[in-house]
Structure formats: structure tokens, C-alpha cells
Amino acid sequence: MTSYQRKYSLAPQALPRVQTAHRRIVTPLPVPESVPLLEDLERLEPSSMQGQPPILIDRSEGWHVHDRWGNMWLDWSSGVLISNVGNSSPAIVAALREMLDRPLLSTYVFAHEKRLELVGLLNELAPSPDYKTFLLTTGSEATENCIKLARTWGQRTRGPDCRYFVTFENAFHGRTMGAQLAGGSPGGKGWLGTPDETFVQVPFPDGYKNPDTRFELFLETLAARGIKPAQVCGVMSESYQGVGPDFLPADYARSLAAWCREQGALLIMDEVQSGFCRTGEWFAFQHYGITPDLIACGKGISSSLPLSAVIGRPDVMELYPPGSMTSTHSGSPLPVAASVANIRELRKGGYLQNARAMDPVLRSGLEALQSRHPLQAGCVHSRGLVAGIQVVLPGTRTLDPRAALAINEACFHKGLLMFAPVGVAGECIKIAPSLDISREALEEGIAVLGEAMDEVLS
Ligand SMILES: Cc1ncc(COP(=O)(O)O)c(C=O)c1O
């Protein structure tokens, strides 16, 4: 039993049959046979692991997710923005099989050739060929490492007073200690106890939740806290905030980059979610025309197994001597092989082209839904193949997580799979299909979302 109220009911609900090329719902949901298994998970795991639509995934291929009772969902989750090249990409499966057959399953930081191949590929994506790449396992580890490097950089270049690490309100950088200190949700920091005044959050210029998009607000906020520019060792931002997706205005991003350069503070872009062609560029910071000093990567870097990376300026990446910035699974052969295959797939170009080609299809489709529900579909943001609808109480900007969840669940019942709504309060219906989704499948998904919104919001 969970000690918290369930987001999604586990009582099977009879549903109209769905049968299209992309969706098949032939049982009640949740599937009655799956309920005892879902309940076992509730019993054996902490409640924090609950909260997604009650599906027991059996296999996933391309942009389809299957259970073992004949149901199939059109996948608009990509896990959680992981499988950019599609679920269980045959190229990745083949690369893994080759590594399994060799066999080579673990290496620590002993050298192996696939690792060389991967860091070579990642360095080719960097803003400059002399950047270096450090491999890790999770996105949180990558952002933690960026914090460590920025703090060390500040101490070494300007002394102990240069210790402030600046991030943005509503930011998400992971769930480990440094990542949550840097995160922009006060709710995530309660467990940290005494606030750490050297981690500072400034308003994010999203234009909706915060209409003030002037770069001067950044400077004003630091000044109001009594922080001098020379005391800032680094500024980290997601290239788009996951709660939206909320993008920085390009002129704000450029002013921020120029300010960091002038002050000697590191500019760090968290691309864990936005990287690897998701927004129609390899990295979302490219939309702004800026050059980060450090780039945190994860998720779509492998489209599958756990792997993350920090790609950074050589003088920053060289701050630590041999053996002092490593991890047991840095460069683990299977995730590395998966990532190499993933990047080689992405480099063929079709995914990037499709993300760009589908950009107007997704955007205009969602804007049409917004115009059907102008009072409740408060804000629609979309770029490439990531989008979000922030649902609000009619005619207000008061976030409405209840309606967002009901829409998400109605989509699940119709064979369209999204992870649970995100956002500041769970008000954001987030859309993130794999980057090769066909126009026809994307349009089918938009129509299904429209039906769900009509049912819930009308
Ligand atoms: C922007 C961003 N940074 C960091 C993370 C943390 O990554 P992980 O969950 O792999 O630790 C996430 C995960 O959602 C993310 O979206």
C-alpha cells in the first residue's frame, strides 16, 4: 500500500475499444491482471516511485509502447525524454548485442576503444574542438559535477570569496544534494535543512509565470541579495526549463553569456533534457547563439541506458588531477556502446530534420487546441518535438493540476501515453515523442489530446 493518495486509480475501468495503426486498447485500464503486480510494486518500493499512469510495460519499439495483454500506446513520453531515436532502436540493440557477445560488461576507468569513440563523437559536438568530455551515469551527476567545477574554478581563479552559484527559479537539475541546492523549487529543498546562501536562484524569464523578461532583473536580483558579480563562480540554466518547456528569450541568453564572460563566471547549460536534437538543434542553447563553458548531458545522449556527460572548456576540465574526478561506472561499456550507436543514428540527420519539420505541425496543432479552450489552455510552448500546455483555472493564471491530470489520464485511456503532468504544480501536459515520429502519428496524437481536452474542459 502507498502511504500517499494515488494519482491514478487502480480500479479497472471499462473503456471504448480503440484500434488504429498507432493505438490499441482492448482491455479495461488498468488491466485487471496487472493490478496485483502494480500493488506489489507499491508494497516493495517507496511511494516516491509511484505517480505514473498505471501501465505495466512489456516492450517498446519506435514510438509504440506495449503491455502483454494486447494494448498498444502511441508514445508521447520517450520514457522521460530519453529515447530520442525511438524506443529500443535496432541500431542500439545491435551495438549492445555486439558488446554482450564480445563480452565486455565493465571496465571502471581502464581504457576501452568504445569510450575513445564516444568522447571523440561528443567532442565533435562541442563549441570548440579543444573541449573535453567526462562521462558519468546520471543527469544529476553531470549537474553536480558542473557545480563542483564552477566552485573550484572560482576558488582557483578569484579566491574563496568567489563562491556564489547562480541558477533559476523553477529550475530542475536533479535530485542529489548539490542538484537540489541548485534547483529552483523551494519544495525540493526542505530536507536540506539550513539554507545554503551560496546557492542563489533568480527569476526565470519565461514570459508567462514571470512576465518580466529583462536581463536587468538578473542583475537587480543579485544586487538585492548583496552579491557582487566578482563573487559569482558560475551560472547554470537548463537550455529550456522542463516545467514549460520554457525558453529564455535569445537576447536575455546572449546578455547572460556576455555578462558571464566579462565577470569570469562559468556559463553552464544543462542540456540533460534538451540535448541531442530534441528541439531541432543538437543542443537547445544553439537557438540562442551562445557558447557555454560547460554542458551537462544525459537522457537522449544514449536514448536508452544510463549515461551522462559533462563537455567543457579544457582549462576547466583540467582542474582535477588523475583519479580525483572519476566514477565507478564512468565509461561503462554497455551505455557507452548504446550512446555511440545513438549518436551515429542522430548524425545521419533524419531525426534532426524531422524534429524541424514537425515543429510547425506540433505547434499549430496545439495552438488550435488552445484556441478551442482559450480560458484553460493558458500557455502553449513548443519547439522541435517538445511541447507543453499549462492548464489554468478558467480565465486566470492559477495553475490547475487537477484538470491537467484528468486530461493526461483520459489520453492514457485512449491509447496516448504521456508521463504524469509536470510543471510548477503539476499543471503542464508535456509532449515529447521520439524524433522520428511520422506526421500522421503526430497528428493522430494531437487529435486524441483534443478529444481528451474537450471531455475534461468543456
Ligand atoms: C534538465 C535536467 N537536469 C538534470 C536532470 C537529472 O537527471 P537524472 O534524473 O538522470 O539524474 C533532469 C532529469 O529530469 C533534467 O530534466
Q: Give the closest residue (by CA) to ligand 1 atom 13.
A: 174
Mean pLDDT of 154-178: 97
Q: Give the closest residue (by CA) to ligand 1 atom 3.
A: 173
pLDDT in tens, 14-30: 999 999 999 999 999 99
Atom of ligand 1 nearest to the CA of 241: 1
Q: Count CB atoms within 10 A of the CB of residue 187.
A: 8
Q: Is 295 left (phi over 0), alpha (psi -120 to 50) or beta?
A: beta
Is 80 exceeded by the pLDDT of residue 288?
Answer: yes
Cβ of 298 closer than 6 Å to ligand 1, yes or no, is yes
Q: Tell me the average pLDDT of the chain.
A: 97
pLDDT of residue 195: 86
Q: How confident is the model at residue 1 (pLDDT cuts 50, 70, 90)?
A: low
How far away, in angstroms, is 144 Cα from ligand 1 center? Answer: 11
Non-local (6+) Cβ contacts of 193 within 8 A are none
Which run of H or of E encompasses 145? helix 139-158
Please, which contacts does 346-353 make with residues 24 or more away whose CB atoms are closer than 8 Å? 346/84, 346/85, 346/276, 346/277, 346/282, 346/435, 347/121, 350/436, 351/84, 351/85, 351/277, 351/435, 351/436, 352/277, 352/280, 352/281, 352/282, 352/435
| Dist. CA 308–CA 296, nearest whole Å | 8
Cell 513548443, residue?
382
Is 90 exceeded by the pLDDT of residue 55?
Answer: yes
Q: Give the closest residue (by CA) to ligand 1 atom 10.
A: 139
pLDDT of residue 76: 98
Share of the chain above pLDDT 90, in %: 97
Identity of the residue numbered 344 = R
In this structure, of 15-19, 194-198, 430-434, the range with the lowest mean pLDDT score is 194-198
Q: Give the closest residue (by CA) to ligand 1 atom 16.
A: 273
**Higher-confidence residue: 451 or 3?**
451
pLDDT in tens, 83-110: 999 999 999 999 999 999 999 999 999 9
Q: Give the closest residue (by CA) to ligand 1 atom 8.
A: 139
Helix, strand, coil % in the chain, rounded to nearest 5? 40, 15, 40
pTM of the model: 0.98
pLDDT of residue 179: 97
Cβ of 306 closer than 6 Å to ligand 1, yes or no, is no
How far away, in angstroms, is 269 Cα from ligand 1 center? Answer: 12
Compute φ and ψ for 452, nearest 5 degrees: -65, -40
| Dist. CA 174–CA 322, nearest whole Å | 26
Cβ of 273 closer than 6 Å to ligand 1, yes or no, is yes
Strands (E) located in 271-346:
294-297, 308-312
- The two beta strands, 164-168 and 232-238, are parallel
Pocket mutation for ligand 1, best pick of 84, 135, 144, 272 (most atoms within 8 Å of C-beta): 272
Is 80 exceeded by the pLDDT of residue 2?
Answer: no
Cell 544553439, residue?
286
Atom of ligand 1 nearest to the CA of 171: 1
- The two beta strands, 164-168 and 64-66, are unpaired
pLDDT of residue 383: 98
How far away, in angstroms, is 200 Cα from ligand 1 center? Answer: 19
Cell 507499491, residue?
42
pLDDT of residue 16: 98
How far away, in angstroms, is 451 Cα from ligand 1 center? Answer: 31
pLDDT of residue 118: 98
Pocket mutation for ligand 1, best pick of 243, 276, 299 (most atoms within 8 Å of C-beta): 299
pLDDT in tens, 292-314: 999 999 999 999 999 999 999 99
Contact 345, 151 (CB under 8 A): no
